[in-house]
A and B are shown apart, each in its own frame.
Chain A
Amino acid sequence: ETGVTQSPTHLIKTRGQQVTLRCSSQSGHNTVSWYQQALGQGPQFIFQYYREEENGRGNFPPRFSGLQFPNYSSELNVNALELDDSALYLCASSAQTGGLVETQYFGPGTRLLVL
């Protein structure tokens, strides 16, 4: 158990809808990263939040957006859902200190199905 929790565990949406996924960081962690893992693929970096600011973004369109709250929990929002957005969405938290690389601890993921 990493202490990182995600909700919901599963979600079904239809094309064009919007979805919000939630992540609660491990205690003491100030950084949250989100990843998309399509079936049979490795996780792909979406973006990272450090102290409530976006701190890096992968190759994902603007309809993928996020928030980090003062308690370091986070949301991933996806607008105008497409079929290809069907995937496991993973949240990972870490304790960033001075820009050093830190181990990321992953939650169990939210499985999103877009019909």
Chain B
Amino acid sequence: AQSVTQPDIHITVSEGASLELRCNYSYGATPYLFWYVQSPGQGLQLLLKYFSGDTLVQGIKGFEAEFKRSQSSFNLRKPSVHWSDAAEYFCAVVNTGNQFYFGTGTSLTVIP
């Protein structure tokens, strides 16, 4: 069965610092992986996705993620965090039925 683990419930970083949010997945076949961001009271906005090919994926707002099959990971990174990046971040794995399975999310706080 497919599942996603986001080990960090909450992360605090200083504005301008680098960021890495962890995501580990469990899936029997080639995974399709997504990162979404959710601001308070809002729906989910797509940041980036991995289907195949280059394991380093670029997304919006300066985010990138690296797929590592050997570690079953798809970690999200940003070199320099902005205060507007404060939000909840969700990693998801998708099965071939196009059904998304989300992690429990990582809440990001950005301090000045």
Cα separation A55 to B95 with both chains bound (whole Å): 13
Are A56 and B100 within 8 A (Cβ)?
Answer: no
Q: B36 an interface residue at 8 Å Cβ cutoff?
A: yes
CB-CB contacts of A1-16 with B at 8 A, as 1s and 0s? Answer: 0101000000000000
How many residues from B make CB contacts under 8 Å with A?
25
A107 touching B99 in the complex, CB below 8 Å, given contacts A42-B104, A43-B90, A101-B32: no
A interface majority secondary structure? loop
Known pairs A35-B100, A90-B43, A109-B43; list 19 more (Cβ under 8 Å): A2-B45, A31-B98, A33-B98, A33-B100, A41-B105, A42-B6, A42-B103, A43-B44, A43-B100, A43-B102, A48-B98, A99-B98, A100-B98, A101-B96, A103-B34, A103-B49, A106-B43, A106-B44, A111-B41
A28 sits at the interface (CB 8 A): no
Give the nearest-CB partner of A42 in chain B: B102
In the complex, which residue of chain B has the Cβ closest to the Cβ of A102?
Answer: B98
B101 at the interface (CB under 8 A from A): yes
* A contact residues, total (Cβ < 8 Å): 31
Residues of B within 8 A of A41 (CB): 104-105
Determine which of B41, B42, B46, B94 lies in contact with A101 in the assembled complex, contact meaning CB atoms within 8 Å.
B94
B74 → chain A closest CB, angstroms? 14
- Chain B hits for A45, CB < 8 A: 99-101
Question: A: which residues have CB within 8 A of B?
Answer: 2, 4, 31, 33, 35, 40-45, 48, 55-56, 58, 90, 92, 94, 96, 99-109, 111
Supply 26 A–B pairs (Cβ within 8 Å), ascending by A. Answer: A31-B98, A33-B98, A33-B100, A35-B100, A40-B105, A42-B102, A42-B103, A43-B100, A43-B102, A44-B102, A48-B97, A48-B98, A55-B97, A56-B97, A56-B99, A90-B44, A94-B98, A101-B51, A101-B98, A103-B49, A104-B100, A105-B46, A106-B36, A106-B45, A108-B42, A109-B42
